[in-house]
C-alpha cells in the first residue's frame, strides 16, 4: 500500500501542472482570436504614444485617414499625430436628447456606415444651456451620474484639410476666460503636435487645471503637412503666411510662399472662423525653431503672458522673432486684431516629451491667467 504522505505532495504537483496547462491553452486561444480580429495592431510603444482616435475626430462617411509611414502616405490617424491601423472603434448613434445618456439595455451592433459622431449636449461656450439640461434631466428623471457627460470635455471635428483630413478641436470648461492653443500649423514641426496632445490628455485627467477657465486645443492645424512631413500644406502654401494681416504680401514661391491671396487655404479659413466664433481672450501658437532662437515670442498685448511663461519654461521673452513674417498668424491676430498672442517656439531638436516637460507649467499658467 502506497503511504498517504507520498501521494499528497505529488498530487499537488500534478494539479499545479494541469492548471498551468489549462491557463496556457486559454492564453493561446485568446491570442489567436485577437490576431484574427486585429492583424495589424500597432506596437506597444506606438500605441502608448498618444490616445487612439475618438468617435469625434473622424468623418464616418469617409473614415480613411492618412499618416506618414516610411516617408509615404499610409492609413493612419493624423488628427492625433500617430500612425493608427486598427479598425475604427464602435460608437453609438448620436443622441437626440439627453435621455439617450441614461443607462439602457445594450442594443445589437450597428453597421459602421450608419454611425455618426456623438454631438455634445452642452456647447463649451454656452453655459446658459446648463439650465435647460437640468430641466430636461428633472423631467425625464435622470440620475446625477447621467448628466456628467454633458459637462465634461468635448471633442469635435471642426473641419477638413485640402486633402480631406480631419481637423479636430478639444474643448474644456464652461465659464471664464478663454485660451486657444493650436499646434503643427507647420507639418515639419511634429513635436508641437505631441505637446498639444499631451495638454489635451493632462486637462482630461486634471479638471482642476482649467477650473473657472475655458480652453480650446487644436493639436494639428495642418494635417496634410504633418502627414507628408512638410512645412506647407498640400497646395505648397505656408499657412503661417496665409492670414489676412495688413502686412500680407505675395512673395516668390518656395518654403515661405503664402499664396496669391490671403486666407485662400481651408486650414487658415478654419482658424479665422474659430476665432471669430469662439472669441478667445488669448492665443498660444506652438512652433519649433532652431535651438538658441527658441522662446516666448509675443504679438499684441501679450508681453505679460510671455513673461509669465518665461518664469516656468526659462525661455527668453521675444518681442520679435528676428525676421519679417508677412501674413503670419501673429501679425493678423496679435498686431492687427490686438488679441494677446504668444508664438511659443520650442527647439526643433527637442523630443515631444522634452518639449512637453519644459512647457507644461508655462501652458497651464497661461490657462489660469486672469
Q: Residue 212 is part of a domain; what is its CATH number?
A: 3.40.630.10
Determine, yes or no, domain membership for 6. no
The better pLDDT of the pair 290, 75 is held by 290
Grid coordinates of 43: 506596437
The better pLDDT of the pair 93, 204 is held by 204
Phi (first) and psi of residue 73, to 5 degrees: -60, 135
Determine, yes or no, domain membership for 4. no
Determine, yes or no, domain membership for 136. no
Determine, yes or no, domain membership for 66. no
The DSSP 8-state label assigned to residue 114 in this structure reads G
Per-position DSSP letters for 195-236, written without gaps between them = HHHHHHHHHHH-GGGGTT-EEEEES-S-HHHHHHT-SS-TTS
Determine, yes or no, domain membership for 26. no
Residue 370, pLDDT score:
87
Residue 251, pLDDT score:
87
347 three-class SS: strand
Closest CA to 103 of 135, 147, 56: 147
Determine, yes or no, domain membership for 316. yes
The cell 460608437 sits on which residue? 91
Grid coordinates of 40: 495589424
Determine, yes or no, domain membership for 176. yes
Domain that holds residue 164: 154-368
288 three-class SS: strand
Percent with pLDDT over 70 in the chain: 59
Q: What mean pLDDT, rounded, does the chain reach?
A: 74
pLDDT at 326 > cutoff 50? yes
- What's the total number of domains in the chain? 1
> Quick one: which H or E segment has residue 286?
strand 282-289
d(CA 141, CA 102): 9
Q: For the chain, how many helices (H) and strands (E)?
A: 10, 10
Determine, yes or no, domain membership for 29. no
Q: What are the pLDDT digits (tens) for 113-157?
A: 333 333 332 333 443 344 454 455 455 554 443 443 445 689 999
Distance set, CA 219 to CA 9, 80, 128 (Å): 61, 7, 28
Amino acid at each position: 500500500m502506497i503511504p498517504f504522505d507520498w501521494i499528497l505532495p505529488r498530487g499537488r504537483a500534478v494539479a499545479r501542472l494541469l492548471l498551468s496547462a489549462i491557463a496556457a491553452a486559454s492564453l493561446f486561444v485568446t491570442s489567436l482570436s485577437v490576431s484574427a480580429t486585429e492583424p495589424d495592431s500597432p506596437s506597444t510603444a506606438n500605441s502608448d504614444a498618444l490616445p487612439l482616435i475618438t468617435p469625434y475626430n473622424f468623418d464616418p462617411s469617409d473614415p480613411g485617414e492618412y499618416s506618414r509611414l516610411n516617408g509615404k502616405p499610409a492609413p493612419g490617424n493624423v488628427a492625433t499625430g500617430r500612425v493608427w491601423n486598427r479598425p475604427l472603434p464602435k460608437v453609438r448613434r448620436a443622441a437626440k436628447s439627453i435621455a439617450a445618456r441614461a443607462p439602457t439595455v445594450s442594443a445589437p451592433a450597428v453597421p459602421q456606415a450608419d454611425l455618426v459622431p456623438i454631438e455634445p449636449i452642452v456647447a463649451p461656450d454656452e453655459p446658459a444651456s446648463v439650465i435647460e439640461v437640468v430641466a430636461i434631466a428633472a423631467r425625464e428623471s435622470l440620475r446625477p451620474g447621467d448628466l456628467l457627460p454633458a459637462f465634461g470635455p468635448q471633442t469635435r471635428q471642426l473641419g477638413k484639410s485640402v486633402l480631406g483630413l480631419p481637423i479636430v478641436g478639444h474643448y474644456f470648461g464652461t465659464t471664464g476666460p478663454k485660451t486657444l492653443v493650436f499646434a503643427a500649423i507647420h507639418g515639419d514641426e511634429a513635436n508641437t503636435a505631441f505637446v498639444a496632445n499631451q495638454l489635451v490628455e493632462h486637462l482630461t485627467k486634471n479638471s482642476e487645471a482649467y477650473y473657472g477657465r475655458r480652453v480650446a486645443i487644436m493639436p494639428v492645424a495642418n494635417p496634410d503637412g504633418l502627414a507628408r512631413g512638410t512645412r506647407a500644406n498640400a497646395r505648397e502654401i505656408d499657412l503661417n503666411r496665409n492670414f489676412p494681416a495688413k502686412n500680407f504680401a505675395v512673395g516668390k514661391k518656395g518654403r515661405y510662399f503664402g499664396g496669391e491671396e490671403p486666407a485662400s487655404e481651408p486650414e487658415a479659413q478654419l482658424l479665422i472662423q474659430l476665432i471669430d466664433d469662439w472669441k478667445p481672450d488669448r492665443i498660444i501658437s506652438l512652433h519649433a525653431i532652431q535651438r538658441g532662437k527658441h522662446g516666448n515670442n509675443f504679438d499684441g498685448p501679450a508681453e505679460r503672458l510671455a513673461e509669465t511663461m518665461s518664469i516656468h519654461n526659462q525661455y527668453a521673452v521675444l518681442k520679435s522673432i528676428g525676421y519679417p513674417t508677412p501674413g503670419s498668424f501673429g501679425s493678423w491676430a496679435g498686431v492687427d486684431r490686438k488679441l494677446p498672442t504668444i508664438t511659443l517656439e520650442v527647439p526643433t531638436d527637442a523630443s515631444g516629451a522634452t518639449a512637453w516637460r519644459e512647457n507644461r507649467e508655462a501652458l497651464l499658467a497661461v490657462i489660469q491667467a486672469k
